[in-house]
Amino acid sequence: MGTFRRPGREPSFDAVAGNGLINRRALLGQGIALAGAAGITGTTGAAAEPLKDEAWSLAFGEVTPALQTPSRFEKDVTRALSNPKGEMRNSHARTPHHLLNGTITPNAMHFSINHCGTPDIDPAKHKLVIHGMVKQPLEFTLETLSRYPLVTRPHFVECAGNSAPMFSSAPLQAPAGMLHGLVSNAEWTGVPLSVLLDEAGIDPAAKWLVAEGADAQFLDRSIPVKKAYDDALVAIYQNGERLMPGNGYPMRLLVPGYQGNMNVKFLRRLKAVDQPAYSYFETKNYSQVLPGGKTWRFHFLMEVKSFITNPSLGHSLKEPGFYAISGVAYSGNGRIAKVLVSADGGKSWGEAALQGPIAPKAFTRFVMPWKWDGQPATILSRAWDETGAAQPLRAEFVAQRGQTKNPVATPLAFPNQHYNSVTAWGIDNKGEIKHVYA
């Protein structure tokens, strides 16, 4: 096996923290070239059967389809549904983070919440209107928006209720895709909202935009004009193709780093006003009761967060030896600056490698090399963003935000909103993984 070492950059296999965490420099930047990997795993090639050609190599293959779908062997990699029978109520589909990797969520796997079903919108008839406190009300179509100079940026979208089961007084046993499946990350392409507002000539006294969708509740949220001029987009492409129906086809508002519900889908109207509307969703669902009964309103910001996707509940470690702990980190404030990982329940921490380029308000994948000795271990991650904001430890978080009186029974429950504390996975001496609090 070849050993690739960069001059002046000796890979180190020194432990950087307790219970087997290895210096991230062992990853040699790209996360794959492990010098002496055989040495650290101790795995030797078991006597294998002689290689032979398999049946799929000995026959002409399938016809190339117009629209390709994953291998039949990947049929279990799907979103988890909250309303599989299609009852007349809201429906959620959660991203299976524990079965995915990288940072871009494939469009078919992007999370989706619909409060009154998904409208079947004809893009040739859909219109977006900007009016209210503007000099000239304007109407746009998908065709006219497509003629603008479009910008493309990766951004996460996270439901304010993502990770809500983590408010449970006891850890709920569910995989990362159920606990944290209401966040996804895509490359969005669209028109900067500031361009369209300038064309309409927004009144300086207008501090809010009421953004409204074309669904059967005309879902609306109040968006600060400040945010609209900062980095908001009217998005018309998602990972290079038109938006998925469940993600707002044919156009949605994108307010990077803010509550998912504010990224109004099926966007049809933006009304400039001088006060927030106190719409149903900003009045009720997407505001948080605090211990003592006060409430946070217009919280907006999805704060710095990370969770380990691999290994995590639903996986098992087959044998002691080398593993790469990896997961995603993101912050509504901007770029991820640092992720620390612990394998001993938070007693000691090592700095994980971040896979670049690191984009603001987008997923960053972290990787931490680890040698598991076959003994019980508790792994968890903690992220910091470029503003210095730290992902709170659970004890800190619960002291400020509280937890439920009784354990939460289902990952589909929303006891509260805006959970961004750590997630810990407990691994026993058989390699089985449970959700634990640490």
Partner 1 sequence: MSTRKSLVALLLVLGTGVALAEPPNLGRKISEADVKQWDIAILPDGSNLPPGRGTPQEGAKVFAEKCAMCHGDQAKGGVMPFYPALVGGQPLTNGIETPKTIANYYAYATTIFDYTRRGMPYNAPRTLTDDEVYATTAYILSLNKLIGENDVMDAKTLPQVKMPNRDNFILPYPDRI
CB nearer to partner 1: give 26 or 253.
253
- Phi first, then psi: what are they for 308, rounded to 5°? -80, 130
Rounded to 10 degrees, the C-alpha dihedral 410/115/133/196 comes to: 90
Residue ranges of the alpha helices (H) in 3-50?
A: 37-41
Q: Is 250 left (phi over 0), alpha (psi -120 to 50) or beta?
A: alpha
CB nearer to partner 1: give 110 or 227.
227
- Give the nearest distance from C-beta 398 to partner 1 in angstroms: 10
Q: Residue 17: count other Cβ atoms within 10 Å of its Cβ.
A: 20
- Give the nearest distance from C-beta 166 to partner 1 in angstroms: 12
Distance CA 343, CA 365 (A): 18
CB nearer to partner 1: give 27 or 210.
210
Distances (CA, A) of 362 to 103, 155, 338: 8, 4, 14
Encoded tokens for 297: 């309103």
CB nearer to partner 1: give 246 or 415.
415
Sole residue written with tokens 């004890």:
395
Q: Residue 147: count other Cβ atoms within 10 Å of its Cβ.
A: 9
- Give the nearest distance from C-beta 283 to partner 1 in angstroms: 5
CB nearer to partner 1: give 25 or 131.
131
- Give the nearest distance from C-beta 156 to partner 1 in angstroms: 18
> HSE of 205 in the Cβ direction (CA atoms, 13 Å)?
5
- Give the nearest distance from C-beta 402 to partner 1 in angstroms: 4
SS3 397: helix
- Give the nearest distance from C-beta 181 to partner 1 in angstroms: 20
Greatest Cα pair distance in the chain: 78
CB nearer to partner 1: give 242 or 299.
299
- Give the nearest distance from C-beta 222 to partner 1 in angstroms: 9
CB nearer to partner 1: give 94 or 271.
271
- Give the nearest distance from C-beta 113 to partner 1 in angstroms: 14
Distance CA 352, CA 15 (A): 13
Sole residue written with tokens 């990797």:
101
CB nearer to partner 1: give 200 or 359.
200
Distance CA 178, CA 180 (A): 6
Encoded tokens for 322: 């080398």
CB nearer to partner 1: give 372 or 397.
397
Sole residue written with tokens 């492409």:
237
Distance CA 4, CA 6 (A): 7
- Give the nearest distance from C-beta 374 to partner 1 in angstroms: 39
CB nearer to partner 1: give 37 or 273.
273
What is the amino acid identity at position 93?
A: A
Distance CA 102, CA 365 (A): 7
- Give the nearest distance from C-beta 102 to partner 1 in angstroms: 24
Cα-only R_g, the chain: 24
Which of 425, 169, 160, 147 minimizes the C-alpha distance to 312? 425
Which H/E stretch holds residue 228?
Answer: helix 225-231
